[in-house]
Copies of this chain bind each other. A is one copy, B any other.
Amino acid sequence: MNNFDYQTPTRLIFGRDVVNRLTEIMKPFGQRILLTYGGGSIKRIGLYDKVKSLLKDFEIYELGGIEPNPKYTQSVVPGVKLCKENKIDVILAVGGGSVLDCSKAIAAGACYDGEPWDVITYKAPTLAALPIVDIITMAATGSEYDAGGVISRPETNDKVGYVDPHLYPAVSFIDPTYTFSVPLKHTLAGVADAMNHIMEQYFSEPSTILNDGFMESGLRSLMVNVKKIIDNPTDYDARAEIFFTCTLGCNGIYSLGSGESGWPLHAMEHALSGYYDITHGEGLAILTPRWMKHVLSEKTMGRFASYGVNVFGIDKTLPQKDIAERAIQATYDFFKEIGIPMTLGEVGIDNSRLQEMAHHVAVNEGLEHAWIPLTEQDILDIYTASL
């Protein structure tokens, strides 16, 4: 078992109608709130009006229109300006992972005297950030329970992962009913993303009985419950369990003491969605079984066999190689069955830039240190098998 240093100070307030407690929860943070949100879905579901009404005795400033893949110049910079000019006490982020990621960068930028880009890119240390409260409306990224975000700056071709302990939300409100109206495509992509967050931690060494069981049940939870949602989008318990399983995805709790995997699937997908702007969760689902097949060997067989037995219920008396191969096929079949496009062709990617992307990943993502190290040729082979 490896050493670890872990702390997640965020308070989770989870369940139906919990947002009714917003007034009481916001009070200790101060009077001046920056309300951040995205393209308007929170208005369609009535959440915007509800929040405004619950906070009628506060002084509210607003930053709406935050984009998916939130942008530095369009959203972070204006947000920081609003905070500084209006002496904001606390940011209230209402929406999905992008709104929250953007709000984290704003919170840090607001407490820094120079250009916010400096802290986002670690040129300057993050010494403080405004407190963040969020009402998270999408089950996927786990941003509501982690200390990170991704900020894009297309002018300079930058897409930066920014992680700092000051960025943990102080409080995250999670009401699964807000996900009832999420379109099926995005529900599926969110589940694929969350499954991948778990797999990126599961496929590593060493591990423990505790972690393995926790992650295997996380995967089963997502797989069983997403099928219920496909049949009935307003199944509360299924939405709730999916949401909470996603919430735990990226803060480390699933794999404390386990080895580092290097997150190879995220590294390889990063190029796909960077070059082609495809949906992140779909890219991950497409790559996953091809990566599994590519790295299957004597060394990894046991791990894939455990995955097959404990996640898919494959007969444990079969030869290990059989179990591992069936588990990889079952992974592909599951994503296909729920309706995720399972080839790069279906999401508009042909073979013209595979080499370029493989080179980019090999140079920038450090996959030579992954659980199973990947060279540029390995990455290209996995992309090619995914066509």
Q: Which residues of A contact B (CB under 8 A)?
A: 1-16, 18, 206, 208-214, 216-218, 220-221, 224-225, 236-237, 240-241, 244-245, 253, 256-257
Determine the residue in chain B with the shortest Cβ distance to A248: B210
- Contact, CB under 8 Å: A1 / B217: no
Q: Which residue of B2, B7, B16, B211 contacts A9 across the interface (Cβ within 8 Å)?
A: B7
Contact call A216/B213, Cβ cutoff below 8 A: yes
Residue of B nearest to A16 (CB): B3
When distances are taken between beta carbons in the complex, the residues of chain B under 8 Å from A213 are 213-214, 216-218, 220-221
Contact (A14, B4) CB under 8 Å given A213-B218, A244-B210, A245-B210: yes
- If A1-B244, A4-B14, A208-B241 are given as contacts, then 9 extra A-B residue pairs at C-beta distance below 8 Å, sorted by A number, are A3-B18, A4-B15, A5-B11, A9-B9, A208-B237, A208-B244, A209-B217, A210-B245, A213-B221
Q: How many copies of this protein are present in the complex?
A: 2
Give Cα distance in the complex from A296 to B357, angstroms. Answer: 59
- Of B2, B214, B217, B225, the contact of A15 (CB 8 Å cutoff): B2
For residue A295, give the distance in angstroms from its CB to the closest CB of chain B.
Answer: 25
Within the assembled complex, what's the spacing in Å between the Cα atoms of A209 and B245?
Answer: 10
In the complex, 5 of the A-B residue pairs with CB atoms within 8 angstroms, ordered by the A residue number, are: A5-B13, A5-B14, A210-B221, A210-B245, A213-B213
| In the bound complex, CA of A2 to CA of B10 (Å) | 19
A12 touching B7, Cβ below 8 Å = yes
A256 and B14 in contact (CB under 8 A), knowing A209-B220, A221-B210, A225-B209?
yes
A3: nearest chain-B partner, CB-CB = B15
CB neighbours of A210 from chain B (8 A)? 214, 217-218, 221, 241, 244-245
Which residue on chain B has the smallest CB distance to residue A210?
Answer: B221
Check A11–B15 contact: CB distance below 8 A: no
| Bound-complex Cα distance A15 to B211 (A) | 16
Q: What B residues does A211 contact at CB under 8 A?
A: 217
Point out the residues of chain B lying under 8 angstroms from A209, CB to CB. Answer: 217, 220-221, 224-225, 241
- Report A170 CB to chain B, min CB distance, Å: 9
Given A210-B217, A210-B218, A220-B209, CB of A5 within 8 Å of CB of B1: no
Closest beta carbon of chain B to A3's beta carbon, Å? 3
Smallest CB separation, A57 vs chain B (Å)? 23
Q: Which residues in B have their C-beta under 8 angstroms from that of A257?
A: 14-15, 240-241, 244
Smallest distance from the beta carbon of A242 to chain B beta carbons, Å?
10
Question: In the complex, A4 Cα to B172 Cα: how many Å?
Answer: 12
Closest residue on chain B to residue A206 by CB atoms: B237
Give the CA-CA distance A245 to B224 in the complex, in Å: 26
- Residues in B with CB closer than 8 Å to A4 are 12-15
B7 touches A237 (CB 8 A): no
Residues of B close to A224: CB separation below 8 A: 209
- Set of chain B residues within 8 Å of A13, measured between Cβ atoms: 4-5
Residues from chain B with a CB closer than 8 A to the CB of A208 are 221, 237, 241, 244
Bound form: Cα–Cα A214–B5 in Å: 21
Shortest distance from the beta carbon of A353 to any chain B beta carbon, whole Å: 39
A240 to B209 alpha-carbon distance, docked (Å): 12
